[in-house]
Amino acid sequence: MQRKAGASIDQIARATGWQEHTCRAFLTGLRKKGRDVARETGKGGRSVYRIASAARGVKAD
């Protein structure tokens, strides 16, 4: 998700072995913890997600 192209829910699910609804819940959890998760429309109108920055209030390594 940190790569420039981001990742779709399908790609996240394949990489983790999780179901799609679990991936969406994971993204919600990241947002609640202060991560800047950007959602953009990718090719074919599918949503693509990227972690745009480090958590608010937390220094990146």
Q: Name the more confident of 2 and 37.
A: 37
Q: In the prediction, which pLDDT does 59 show?
A: 55
Do residues 43 and 8 lie in contact, with contact meaning Cβ atoms separated by under 8 Å?
no
What is the model's pLDDT at position 4? 75
pTM for this predicted structure? 0.75
Measure the CA–CA gap between 39 and 20, rounded to whole angstroms.
16
pLDDT over 90 at 1, yes or no: no
For the chain, give every domain's residue range: 9-53
Give pLDDT tens digits for 6-52: 899 999 999 999 999 999 999 999 999 999 999 999 888 999 999 87
